Amino acid sequence: MLIINIKQLVGIREETSLLKGKAMAELPYLDNAFLRIIDDQIVEYGEMKDLSEKGWDNEEQIDVAGQYVLPAWCDSHSHLVYAGSRETEFVDKIKGMSYETIAKNGGGILNSARLLNNTPEEELFHLAWQRLEEVKKLGTGAIEIKSGYGLTVEGELKMLRVIRKLQKESDVLIKSTFLGAHTYPSVFKDNHQAYIQQIIEEMLPVIAEEQLADYIDVFCEQGFFSVQETEQILEAGIRFGLKPKLHANQLHVSGGVQTGVKYKAISVDHLESIGEAEIDCLKESNTIATLLPSAAFFLRMSYPPARQMLDANLPLAIATDYNPGSSPSGNMPLLIALSCIQLKMTPEEAINAATINGAFAMELHNSTGSISRGKKANLILTKPIPSLAYLPYSFGSTLIDKVLLQGKWV
Ligand SMILES: N=CN[C@@H](CCC(=O)O)C(=O)O
Ligand SMILES: [Zn+2]
């Protein structure tokens, strides 16, 4: 397949490296370009003026005059498998109740866990499949999905098996994360060690045996998992072959960032509550800082200091955090707009954070995240637009014309 007359082919990289600080402002492109795809792979690209000499006249051609072509989004943090919505809590929050108070009253994550444990695996799969189909149309081509709404041995394994079935059946590239340590189930409220032992002795061995997860995550936060508890769980996860990714510094300066760095986490995610010490700590590491501004937006919290982090030469990724409690949206175009508007990232920085750096945060950078020969043909074709900045500028508009995943139209 040949895509021709591309107004601008965006995110071209033959060298795949994690982008940090100033480098995030550069988004290489070609004007008036073509792109050649064979099966599920990008095989060639170039300028239209050089196309005639290639001798590909007999190939299927798709003329996209006026349209931009970008790599599909890489959403590196989601909780897309869940059983039911929580709009009642949404209204409670409007009326003044805080996220923490709702959680203390048995709402929040525990509410989702109750629903999930009462929902059959097939139904859960069906619900998650519908959400995945929805985000595909918005341009998502790779996604990380966490467990963490089971909080029982059966519930956690059920979630991870649903994720595995999604991996097998969807053309979206999917990574799986075990988040048994999302919160303490009510029965273990006063006996944290008993739940941690359940995670270590009853969940992790099965997860490792059945290869149900790539990563281990912990909600390291006041009122959830302390630094010491987080360390204990991460160490066990690592023994079972899982790499850490962490929920860190969402509600308080929790020590999550330092813990993530200490255990060489692939990423530390959220970071609404960070200061100089956390930024300095990240500077000395290879850990990616993943920002989830739609959660801060939805919970009316202050945003992470993205500009300060870019000035400190950190690598930033952005992700939707798609979940029923703090970000009931998997809309990457909206997330990119939010990142520009509220985090003051430039369109180029936000797109890099949502593509190549997101791919790194899932260790999928050799397969996706940029327009590169040999990578998956995971592409977004925009409607005709005047410039790249028009995408986040006209937030809320549907500007995606078509999406191609692994060489097939969505
Ligand atoms: N903060 C922890 N976990 C999710 C929210 C979970 C929920 O409220 O259901 C998050 O990343 O925002
Ligand atoms: Zn999350």
What does the block give as tokens for 86? 């929580």
Say whether both 66 and 92 belong to one domain.
Answer: no
CATH number, domain containing residue 379:
2.30.40.10
257 located within any domain: yes
Q: Residue 391: CA atoms inside 13 Å, Cβ hemisphere, count?
A: 28
The residue behind tokens 């009316």 is 300
pLDDT tens-place string over residues 206-242: 999 999 999 999 999 999 999 999 999 999 999 999 9
Q: Which residues contact 359 (CB under 8 A, 6 or more apart)?
A: 74, 76, 142, 365, 367, 368, 369, 370
> Among all ligands shown, which has an atom nearest to the Cα of 293?
1
User: What ipTM did this prediction achieve?
Assistant: 0.96
Q: Give the pLDDT score at 106.
A: 80
Q: What is the Cα–Cα distance from 172 to 176, expressed in whole angstroms?
A: 13
> Among all ligands shown, which has an atom nearest to the Cα of 299?
1
Say whether both 177 and 205 belong to one domain.
Answer: yes
- The reply, when asked if residue 164 is annotated as ligand binding, is no
Say whether both 352 and 265 belong to one domain.
Answer: yes
Say whether both 306 and 324 belong to one domain.
Answer: yes
189 located within any domain: yes
**Which of 340, 360, 380 is the last residue in one of the domains?**
360
Nearest-atom number in ligand 1 for the CA of 112 is 9
Identify the sign of the CA torsion 176, 181, 183, 189: positive
Say whether both 191 and 140 belong to one domain.
Answer: yes
What does the block give as tokens for 112? 């989702």
| Total tally of structural domains belonging to the chain | 2
212 located within any domain: yes
Mean pLDDT of 323-334: 97
Is pLDDT above 90 for 6? yes
Q: What lines the ligand 1 site, CB under 6 Å?
A: 108-109, 112, 219, 247, 250, 295, 321, 323-326
Assess contact for 40 and 377: CB atoms under 8 A.
yes
Say whether both 99 and 174 belong to one domain.
Answer: yes
3-state secondary structure of 281: helix
Q: Where residue 407 falls among pLDDT bands split at 50, 70, 90?
A: very high
Q: Give the pLDDT score at 123.
A: 98
- CA 187 to ligand 1 centroid distance, Å: 20
Q: What value does the mean pLDDT of the chain take?
A: 97
Assess contact for 7 and 68: CB atoms under 8 A.
yes
Is pLDDT above 90 for 163? yes
Share of the chain above pLDDT 70, in %: 100
Say whether both 175 and 43 belong to one domain.
Answer: no
Q: Give residue 36's domain range.
A: 2-71+371-409
Assess contact for 306 and 352: CB atoms under 8 A.
no
Say whether both 310 and 170 belong to one domain.
Answer: yes
Residue of 253, 244, 164, 156 whose CA lies nearest to 206: 156
Residue nearest to atom 12 of ligand 1 (CA): 326
Q: Give the pLDDT score at 329.
A: 98
Mean pLDDT of 173-177: 98
Mean pLDDT of 67-89: 97
Is pLDDT above 90 for 58? no
Model pTM above 0.80: yes
Q: Where residue 104 falls among pLDDT bands split at 50, 70, 90?
A: confident
Q: Which residues contact 376 (CB under 8 A, 6 or more apart)?
A: 40, 41, 42, 141, 173, 367, 368, 405, 406, 407
CATH number, domain containing residue 127:
3.20.20.140
Q: Give the pLDDT score at 99.
A: 79
DSSP-assigned beta bridge partners for residue 291: 270, 318
pLDDT tens-place string over residues 342-401: 999 999 999 999 999 999 999 999 999 999 999 999 999 999 999 999 999 999 999 999
Residue of 356, 370, 329 whose CA lies nearest to 78: 329
* 173 vs 52, higher pLDDT: 173
Say whether both 25 and 149 belong to one domain.
Answer: no
Q: Give the pLDDT score at 57.
A: 84
Q: What is the Cα–Cα distance from 382 to 400, expressed in whole angstroms?
A: 4
Residue 349 buriedness (CB in 10 A; 0-12 / 13-18 / 19+): buried
* DSSP-derived pairing of the beta strands 215-220 and 173-181: parallel
Q: Give the pLDDT score at 285.
A: 97
Is pLDDT above 90 for 262? yes
Q: Give the pLDDT score at 348.
A: 98
Say whether both 7 and 109 belong to one domain.
Answer: no
Say whether both 216 and 270 belong to one domain.
Answer: yes
CB-CB neighbours of 144 under 10 Å: 31
Relative orientation angle of helices 347-354 and 332-342, to the nearest 10 degrees: 140
Candidates 247, 268, 269: which one to mutate for ligand 1, based on the most atoms within 8 Å of Cβ? 247
Q: Where residue 312 falls among pLDDT bands split at 50, 70, 90?
A: very high
Say whether both 252 and 207 belong to one domain.
Answer: yes
The amino acid that residue 385 corresponds to is I
Q: What is the Cα–Cα distance from 318 to 269, expressed in whole angstroms?
A: 9
337 located within any domain: yes
* DSSP-derived pairing of the beta strands 41-47 and 61-63: unpaired
365 located within any domain: no
Q: Where residue 113 falls among pLDDT bands split at 50, 70, 90?
A: very high
